[in-house]
């Protein structure tokens, strides 16, 4: 009876340990796969990933990037293109024989599944917060043999974040301006709560005029009348070819504080929408827009 009991306990432990190992490999496949041998051929499926990889000095290892990867401009010109962000060319990717492909979640889910079926190793970057982004930079550093460069980059970014936070530390909550971030104009779109873009506005000392729960999987269109009703103090336009004059000329918007006080501003959509090192540029620019006397 005792022998049966201990055999049962051992079996349970074996199942538990095996389950944990499998789960851990599914959770962090790249860390496990490349714990000893570092990847020599890297493909990026997102502009934000590309910016991180170049920031870590992986110029020689990168063998493929998307059609939308455009920064840093002096380095991406000679790189092989593997298709669009949502429409990568699977044959091209396989032909480049990558050791690892850095992808994102969400819209790339089907592409990731297809690449895994083709035997391609994938690492998925997810950064809904600034803390997540810094962790991902650290992870990429470990995966690619660039831990020191990753830590130097993290230290530099944290220093800049802290500098902004210190300047804003004495701003009372009730004095923070209401901000509406417009990421598209027709229809009107904004960023949902569980996104890095949303957090950047808060870190810059702003209060969101409109909050949409959830992440990018939620519909984030906004009724223009609701924007008028909440009366934002500042409107940020974060899409290509935006122009504050187009907002100033909107019918029925003349009484909105941001319009009345000429506080509608453009911001480069790339620096605020890409979870990479330049997101700190967006943080600093927005803080300066909201608090010009402090910056």
Task: Sketch the domain layout of the chain as residue ranges.
Answer: 38-153, 173-290
CATH code, residues 173-290 = 3.40.50.1980
What pLDDT sits at residue 244?
A: 95
The encoded tokens of residue 54 equal: 């170049």
Given a cut of 50, whether residue 97 has pLDDT beyond it is: yes
The encoded tokens of residue 15 equal: 């199942």
Q: What is the mean pLDDT of residues 29-34?
A: 43
Given a cut of 80, whether residue 216 has pLDDT beyond it is: no
- Provide the sign of the torsion angle of the four alpha carbons 246, 249, 251, 253, taken in this order: positive
Q: Which residue has better confidence, 14 or 97?
A: 97
- Residue that the structure tokens 């620096």 belong to: 271
- Provide the sign of the torsion angle of the four alpha carbons 133, 136, 137, 138, taken in this order: positive
Query: What stretch of H or E contains 188?
Result: strand 188-189
User: Which of 15-24, 86-95, 120-129, 185-194 shows the lowest per-residue confidence on average (mean pLDDT)?
Assistant: 15-24
- Provide the sign of the torsion angle of the four alpha carbons 207, 213, 219, 223, taken in this order: negative
User: Which of 9-23, 99-113, 141-155, 209-223 shows the lowest per-residue confidence on average (mean pLDDT)?
Assistant: 9-23
Same CATH topology for 38-153 and 173-290? yes
pTM above threshold 0.75:
yes
What is the rounded average pLDDT for all residues in the chain? 88
pLDDT band for position 221 (50/70/90)?
A: confident
- Other Cβ atoms closer than 10 A to 165: 14
CA 288 to chain centre: 22
Given a cut of 60, whether residue 45 has pLDDT beyond it is: yes
CATH top-level class of 38-153:
alpha beta
What pLDDT sits at residue 36?
A: 60
CA–CA gap between residue 251 and residue 235 (Å, rounded): 16
């Amino acid at each position: 009876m005792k022998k049966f009991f201990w055999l049962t306990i051992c079996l349970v432990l074996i199942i538990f340990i095996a389950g944990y190992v499998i789960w851990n490999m599914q959770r962090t496949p790249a860390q496990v796969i490349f714990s000893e041998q570092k990847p020599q051929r890297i493909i990026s499926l997102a502009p934000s990933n590309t910016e991180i990889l170049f920031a870590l000095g992986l110029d020689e290892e990168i063998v493929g990037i998307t059609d939308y990867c455009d920064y840093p401009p002096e380095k991406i010109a000679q790189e092989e293109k593997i298709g669009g962000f949502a429409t990568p060319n699977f044959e091209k990717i396989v032909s480049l024989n990558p050791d690892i492909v850095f992808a994102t979640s969400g819209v790339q889910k089907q592409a990731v599944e297809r690449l895994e079926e083709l035997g391609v190793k994938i690492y998925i970057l997810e950064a809904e917060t600034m803390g997540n982004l810094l962790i991902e930079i650290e992870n990429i550093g470990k995966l690619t043999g660039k831990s020191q460069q990753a830590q130097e980059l993290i230290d530099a970014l944290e220093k800049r974040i802290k500098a902004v936070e210190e300047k804003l530390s004495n701003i009372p909550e009730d004095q923070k301006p209401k901000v509406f971030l417009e990421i598209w104009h027709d229809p009107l779109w904004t960023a949902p709560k569980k996104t890095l873009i949303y957090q950047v506005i808060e870190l810059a000392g702003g209060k969101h005029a409109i909050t949409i729960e959830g992440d990018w999987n939620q519909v984030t269109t906004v009724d223009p009348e609701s924007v008028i009703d909440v009366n934002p103090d500042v409107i940020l336009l974060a899409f290509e070819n935006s122009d504050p004059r187009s907002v100033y000329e909107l019918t029925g918007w003349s009484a909105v504080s941001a319009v009345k006080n000429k506080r509608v501003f453009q911001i480069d959509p790339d620096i605020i929408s890409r979870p990479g090192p330049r997101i700190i540029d967006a943080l600093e620019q927005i803080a300066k827009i909201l608090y010009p006397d402090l910056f």
